[in-house]
Structure 1
Amino acid sequence: MSLTWLTRGRSWGFRFLRRPGDSDPLVAYEQAFSGCEDDQEVFRRSHDAVALRFPDPEGRKDEAGRPIAHDFVLTGTLATEVNSIEEGISRVWPLVQDEYAQAYDAATPPSA
């Protein structure tokens, strides 16, 4: 299972909070989300990856009042098990929700 996660917090901008291995996650992220950069919700399967974007399930916003979105690139077993935004939320969010609850209000962003 591979999970790349990009989001922002209350006072810090977009950051990769999880990324697989030592590779640069930006290339895989840009490929997965190509053409749907501005969409509020995304479920798109391409090759062996799933691009998944959904608004924060707890309705959190940044300091400017913008809703927080969570972007994921799923590969491996997890990618085959997720077939919709709803399934993505129910399968992926529990994997990161505690981590995000701690990071959201942090003055500085956590590092991946």
Structure 2
Amino acid sequence: MTIIWATRGRRWGFRFLETGGHTDPLPAYDAAFAAVGDERRACRRTGDVVALRFPDPLGRRDAAGRVIPHDFVVTGDLAARVHTVDDGLALVWPQVEARYAEAWDAEL
């Protein structure tokens, strides 16, 4: 998979569920999201890297009641096809949806 994916679960805090092949995905994540700020929905391209953020499509909230955000750094062929948040929902979310459903309520 050509993504870095950071999110929260019902009872676990922000963490990377996909690393995009990086031993430490944080520097690549920080670079991609540097211009995004606190936007709840975002799709920002920098060269061939896309920073993509959207709230959980099923409206899930964590134990504290906060909406779950899904942050992705998308590269490669997939990034070339993601130009909007709606593209990300259609192209990226289906690749991780089942994994998130399993992890959502788990104790990671």
Give your verdict on TM over 0.5: yes
Compute the displacement of 1:21 (Å).
1.9
Compute the displacement of 1:37 (Å).
2.7
Give every structure 1 segment of 4 or more consecutive aligned residues whose post-TM-superposition deviation is greater than 4 Å: none
**1:12-23 correspondence to structure 2 within 5 Å:** 12-23=12-23
RMSD over aligned Cα atoms = 1.0
| SS, match of residue 61 in structure 1 | coil
Compute the displacement of 1:106 (Å).
0.6
Q: Partner residue of 1:63?
A: 63
Whether the 8 Å contact between 2:53 and 2:70 is mirrored in structure 1 is yes
TM-score (norm 2): 0.95
Number of aligned residue pairs: give it.
108
Residue ranges of structure 1 left out of the alignment (5+ in a row): none
Hey, what's the Cα distance between the residues in 2 that align with 1:3 and 1:77? 11
Residue ranges of structure 2 left out of the alignment (5+ in a row): none
Hey, what's the Cα distance between the residues in 1 that align with 2:52 and 2:12? 21
| SS, match of residue 96 in structure 1 | helix
Hey, what's the Cα distance between the residues in 2 that align with 1:26 and 1:100? 20
Worse-superposed segment, 17-26 or 52-61: 17-26
